[in-house]
Amino acid sequence: MRLMKPILPALTLGVTPAGAAVPGYTYGQPSVARAPYSLDDLAALQKVLLFGDDDIRALRQSAPILADQTDAILDVWYGFVASTPELLVFFGNARTGEPDAGYLAAVRQRFARWILDTAGAQYDQAWLDYQYEIGLRHSRIKKNRTDGVDSTAQVNFRYIPALTIPITTTLKPFLASKGASVADVENMHAAWVKSVLLQAILWSEPYVRDGAF
């Protein structure tokens, strides 16, 4: 499945489709550490998740459908976080507890890039390494550093796999909004669920005791 040709080469390396750099988005850059898990580990995980070439095709089919909807999608996702105090706290200032608007805005830009990278993922070493980086950024090892903010030390891990459900459930209407068949929408949605869960699992590594991942 890693033999498939990249379809979104212009959308990697931290540039937006319009070409502007996204602050802190370091996908593909030398500063990103090598993941402590291998491409073979990834293949094994994909196998157990029943994540195959059909899913990769379905994700890629979703790329042009979602490309001009990322802002609207993020309005919905951020709306969910903003209306869920248990989640909003992780964007709060460590002293006042008030949501940090600058932090929310900075992360939002990288989140938009992530939508396109998830749809066009090549599952190569650079992708794997950036998964590790995103995990670190949610954990106490690296949270807050990218944006230089003073917020909670970590995102508590239990919420990360849980957020898979609201993220993918609310994505479905966006997948359906451009005339794809009902079957195609179902396939794209199922592929998104698997991909987001796959990533949430990879992001767990910094939270898991040594040797237990």
**Interacting residues toward ligand HEM by CB under 6 A:** 24-25, 81, 87, 90-91, 107, 110-111, 114, 134, 137-138, 143-144, 146-147, 155, 159-160, 163-164, 167, 196, 200
Q: Which residues does residue 21 pair with via DSSP β-bridges, in sequence order?
A: 15
Pick 80 or 179: Cβ nearer ligand HEM: 80
**Kind plus residue range of the DSSP H or E element containing 88:** helix 85-88
Nearest distance in Å: CB 190, ligand HEM: 16
Nearest distance in Å: CB 120, ligand HEM: 14
Listed residue (37, 1, 29, 30) closest to 202, CA to CA: 37
Nearest distance in Å: CB 36, ligand HEM: 18
Q: For residues 97 and 81, what is the distance between their CA atoms, to the nearest angstrom?
A: 15
Pick 1 or 166: Cβ nearer ligand HEM: 166
Pick 11 or 167: Cβ nearer ligand HEM: 167
Nearest distance in Å: CB 145, ligand HEM: 7
Distance of CA 158 to the CA centre of its chain: 16
Cα dihedral 72, 113, 191, 199 sign: negative
User: Within 10 Å of residue 126's Cβ, how many Cβ atoms?
Assistant: 16
Pick 157 or 181: Cβ nearer ligand HEM: 157
